[in-house]
Structure 1
Amino acid sequence: MMKLQISNERDRKESQNRERRRQCELERRSRIFNARNRKIGVDLPFLERQVAEKRAEREEQDRRNLAFAQQMIKDSNLAVVLEARENEERRRINAEIDAYRQQYQRPEDRREFDLNNPDVLKMQLPPRATDDAPVGMSSAQKFEGEDLNYEERRKIMAAQKNAWLEQQVQERKAAEEERKKAEAAYMMAIKARDARAGELDQMERECRYRLGQANLRYNEALAAEKKQLDQITKEQEEADNTAEMYNNLTSDMLTENPDVAKSALGKNRAIGFMYKGMNQEELKKFYAAQKDQMAAAKAKREAEEKMEAEWQALAKSIQNEVARQDIQDKRKRREIARQLMEENQLLALQQKEKEKYYRDVVNNNVPTDDYYSQFNTTTR
């Protein structure tokens, strides 16, 4: 008759305790056998704080880059405005120079204009007795090279030349003063731009210095905090290790108490993780079973050796048979090769006799020159 064991509350608690201990053992095994976590460890809050710090530092760097870019754009716009002003000033000066040339340096006011005047023939005086007396076209009284009013004209030309020189000197002085004023204004603008660039560079250096100092102070604070956390962690770990050592020394595992291994489920059942070993009666049964296993293993090994010897004998006989068949095949191949060689020699001899027959009997009528000379001798 089969006996059924009904689980009670005590059995359920024991099962729950075993499951809880099994889970704890699995967690501890995963924690201990993980070399990286055991030796290095993972500080997740510290890593998250580092990620946040890196993100804030990146945002601060982006903000500084944006500010520098905006300032660079302002400087570029200022340089563009100054360059536009300079170009406008140059265009104004060139326009004034062109206007001066149109007003005071006309071609007809040049000293040699009388040599290049296209209307010189229209402006010549007619033949005359004097320069002011008109004469007819056929009077032949005016000739090339004559200049009756040379002295008066020379004086007028000298006075006009002096007036022109004085006017050119005054105009050149005025143009030089205007040029100097424009260059002075341009140099002042360049100096102002350089001063502004120097101020911006100084401000940038000061900002970088302050930022470096702030980073240094922040890193020092982080290092101090990290050192303090390491010290607290070390003290906590030492306290945990001391408590674990004390618990292990006072536990039933090291005191070798055999009663703690007895299970509540039956007298023949034991708790595995608290089991300390077998008694003398159990050892005798174990040694007897071990001897029986050794005898069975020896008999099995002898049977396997016997079967292996039989297989080796069979393989050797098969190998000998294969070698004998191989020798017979080689002999047959040599015989076939010898027969084939004899047949080839016979065929070669027949071929030589046939060639000799064709050469001596069939092909002995060779045409001579008389045979070829009878052709193409007539027109038909």
Structure 2
Amino acid sequence: MYKVDLPVEQSTEKAVERRRSAESARKARIFNTRLRVMGLDTDVLNQQVQEKKHQQNIERQRDKAFDKLREYHDVALLQLDTDDREKRAALHTDLVQYWATQQRVEDSRDADLKCGLQGAFRIPIPERELGPASMQMFQGEGIGEEQVRREQMKKTERDLQAQREDNARRHMGNKHREMLVSRELVHQDLRGVQQAALEEECQNAIRIAYNDYNRALAAEQAEKLMEQHRREERENLAEMRHTLTSDMMTECAEAAERKVGGGKPHHVLTDRWRGMSPEELRAIHEERETQCRERQRKRDAEKIHDAAWDHQLLKQSREAEEEEARAAELRRQTRIQMDQYNMQLAREQQAHQEYLDKKLYTNKPTRDYFYQFNTSSR
């Protein structure tokens, strides 16, 4: 058979190229110092970026909504201001029209005073003395002026009369009220005087009752004091009689050694004791000498015991000092041996280090030796 050059399948080439690209990407990731040392989680970073963008979008939408709400409020406030101004203008126009139609100056009660100077008025000067250029009243003017003035004077007089009558009625009413108030004050004063008189009578009755009660209490207290004084006198007489007839005054010697109630058989009554007998004094002296000899014997025994204890303590302290000296000598010998051993170890380590530096590690690696590593991702 003959050798035939068959074409390489295109899928195999694509697979090889894909593996080469993956290897290049793997090398880029592995030999990148920043990624290898620090490390980055791209998925988490992308998620954080998306969340931040979403948050910013929400904030922008919220700001737009707030802007629209502010614009709506501004338009509403402007419309309210415009309506208010229009209402004020319409009200002012209606008020001016009302003044012009319903409250004219010439329709008021004192129109003759305010508007009387607008027309001509009569001057009691003959026309022949004034001349044609000084005429101030013309034909048809001032008709009924005197009648109007008389009516106004009558009306003013009626108003003044009505005011005087009203003031008189008001004055009479005030006088009537003042009279009623003064009458009520008089009645109150009378009731106050009667009440004060009744209270004074009650106070007198209470005072009399208190006085009677206090006199009765004083009499009762005096009777109690007299009874107490009589009882004290009886008790004093009884005590004096008992004292005169007691064993203390009669100097009875057996009274001091008498058994009273539940006391001890040889109990001595101090208020009746007249002193000890010679036999009792002799017994006391003998007992005291016996106690002194016993106390001296105890002191001698304690001295002997203390001396023995001090000797034992001295012996123990000497033994402790000797033991401490032996321990110090042992520590010194141990330290000397440890120093010698450390010096021997130091000499051996120095010799080993010289062997490593001068005989074993004489062939130092070059730069090419280190460049042969980390050339592939596998």
- Report if TM-score (shorter chain) is over 0.5: no
Ranked by relative contact order (alpha carbons within 8 Å, sequence separation 6 or more), the top structure is 2
Larger radius of gyration: 2
TM-score (norm 1): 0.35
TM-score (norm 2): 0.35
